[in-house]
Amino acid sequence: MGVAVAAIATAPPLLIAQVAAPAGAAREELAKAYLRMDRAYAAADSAARISDSTRALVNRSFDRATLSFFGGRFAAAVAMIDSSVQLLTAATGVEAPPVAAVPTLSAFPGDSRRTLIGANGAPIPLRVVAAPSVVKSQRPVGVLLALHGAGGDENMFVDAYGRGIAARLAAEQGLILVSPVTLPFVQSAEPFDSLMAMLRREYRVDSARVFVMGHSLGSGAAAGLARARAAQIAGVVCLAGGAPVAVPNAPPMLFIGAEQDPIVSATRVKAAAAATPTGIYEQLPFEGHTLMVRNGVKRGFAWLAELPKR
């Protein structure tokens, strides 16, 4: 299947098993609806055309659509997302770029679909964006492992979440972006080991610049890796989620909450940061659970770039 479904956001862990995945046409319609919203929001935000009141209204509307998805009301979720897009377009005057057919590879140079072999031989789909400028560098290259939220897939951080802003920023910072299906990384740290072994066979990896970024469920997985592989990770960014990490040699961690998040509250994210000795907390005003990812990614990359080498 191609790009992730509309709710890409993420359910709290107990909700995951309760969300029946839409099949066939319903999934594709949800994917396209989410991409319409993602592109509209990125375009209006890039043009600095979203007022605080409009940002708050659109985020609340989109999060209601997310909750409809979690409730299995897929047609209602699509209708609510499209209503949110219309609201945003009317308020900002910025039209969303068209959505290409799904699935598709992005326009980012060095973008490829790969398969990692996980525990018991299970395949783990992933996208790897290794920009030519990064690969040709004479220096060892860093890695950013990006873990999506529940309801999403390996395409999220490349095709969506702010129109793939993570892939662009990774190239600018000399990092290879790796975006896999998240669930195996929730279940075990072994896929991380297999992934790093694969990358080291193909690239000169800078072990001092291996980072993890996650959204919601992906933030929980990122926190788990920070506990299990503390010495191997140089920094972690948790967007709209995460969990406390208090182990020896834990990496620096940035927890970013969204003021209006009805799914993983900002209070909950702040508490996880407070219980993490290496954690700091920041909050995005007027944003909700999923649309916050674009600005969360931007802030996260700026923070990672400022980290001293461990």
Q: In the predicted model, what is the mean pLDDT of residues 166-172? A: 95
Burial class (CB within 10 angstroms; exposed 0-12, middle 13-18, buried 19+) of 122: exposed
pTM score: 0.91
- Lowest mean pLDDT, pick from 23-32, 46-55, 287-296: 23-32
Q: Examine the pLDDT at 98 and tell me if it is beyond 90.
A: no
> What residues form DSSP beta bridges with 125?
115
Q: Which residues touch 79 (CB under 8 Å, ≥6 apart)?
A: none
pLDDT band at 16 (very low <50, low <70, confident <90, very high): very low
Query: DSSP states of 224-244 as a string?
Result: HHHHHTGGG-SEEEEES----
